[in-house]
Structure 1
Amino acid sequence: MFNPSQADVRRFFCSVYDKNKTGQAMEAIEIIASQWIDEHPEYHAELQDVDAALAKMAEVSTVQENPFLHLSMHLSLSEQCSIDQPRGIRQAVELLTRRRDSLHDAHHEAMECLGQILWESQRAGRPPDGDAYVDAVQRRATRD
């Protein structure tokens, strides 16, 4: 199983940004990542300089969103939907996408659910509850 470090994640997204900007060939996962990067121009400045991105790893900001975490969650959701794992997530995100008329907005809502499930899992010292995660996304897709 691939278990990238925080530095690996930052290098990956900075590399994808550079490859996309310079028209270099990319692997499938990089293409997906570049699409999410394109959706977030507010992060482009941070993705331009890998050394600065690595230097900022020690900084903790309660004000600014972490672009690397945010993009990683988009990429995770894309991968989860592509393989429907946990089972039902693809349909739940598709329903939420139709409801919000935006895959991007649906991802942001599903990311809130994912973050909550991960927080609860860490707090309780148990594996994440995939069923509860899918249920939370489905609730968002069906509520008024």
Structure 2
Amino acid sequence: MFNPSQTEVRQFFCETWHKQSTGALLTPLENMAAHWISEHPEYHKLLSAADAQQQSYLPEQGQTNPFLHLSMHLAISEQLSIDQPPGICAAYERLAVKLGTAHAAQHSIMECLGETLWQAQRNQAPLDSTAYLACIKRRAS
């Protein structure tokens, strides 16, 4: 199982943005990441900053961690690519129609993913894919 460190994740996104910005060849995963970075122009300057990888992002101060946000986009994209958990693709498609864009649908699913991750951590239990999918389906209906 691929389990990168915080430093490796941050380096991946910064390097991907640099490669995208300079027209360098991207791997398939970098291409997917570059798509989501492009969808978030508010992160472009940050990902180009020399100190981007050292910054802290504190939710209690109203800050969004761009690396976590982009990682969640990648995770959802991977789930959609293999329809895992089964049924996520159909729910995502309904959600995209309901919300008007695929990006908005991803953000809605991201809230379900965040809740599912939080519950698993809080309960020291595995991710509950049934509850995760149910959350997405509720949003899509």
TM-score class, shorter:
over 0.9
Report whether the alignment pairs 1:63 with 2:58: no
Q: Does 1:14 align with 2:14?
A: yes
Structure 1 unaligned spans of 5+ = none
The Cα shift of 1:93 comes to 1.0
The amino acid that maps onto 1:115 is: G
- Alpha-carbon deviations, 1:75-120, whole Å to 9, x = none? 1000000011111111111111111120000011100001001111
> 2:16 & 2:54 partners in 1: Cα distance?
19
Q: Please, which runs of 5 or more residues in structure 2 have no aligned partner? A: none
How many residues are matched? 140
Identical-pair percentage: 49
1:82 matches 2:71: no
**Aligned pair 1:5/2:38, yes or no?**
no
CA distance in 1, matches of 2:117, 2:54: 26
Counterpart of 1:125? 124
Tell me the TM-score normalised to structure 1 length. 0.92
Instruction: Give me the whole-angstrom Cα distance separating, in 1, the residues matched to 2:129 and 2:73.
Output: 17
CA RMSD of aligned residues (A): 1.2
CA separation in 1, counterparts of 2:123 and 2:62? 27
Structure 1 residue 54, shift from structure 2 partner: 2.1
The code of the aligned residue for 1:60 comes to L
List structure 1 segments (4+ residues) > 2 angstroms apart after TM superposition.
Answer: 59-62
Supply the distance in 1 between the matched residues of 2:83 and 2:38 (Cα, whole angstroms): 24
Tell me how far 1:60 sits from its aligned partner.
3.3
**1:72 corresponds to:** 71
Q: Which residue of 1 aligns with 2:114?
A: 115
**CA separation in 2, counterparts of 1:67 and 1:54?**
11
TM-score normalised by structure 2 residue count? 0.94
Does 1:54 pair with 2:53?
A: yes
Aligned residue identity for 1:41 = P
Task: Give the whole-Å Cα distance in 2 for the aligned partners of 1:54 and 1:21.
Answer: 18
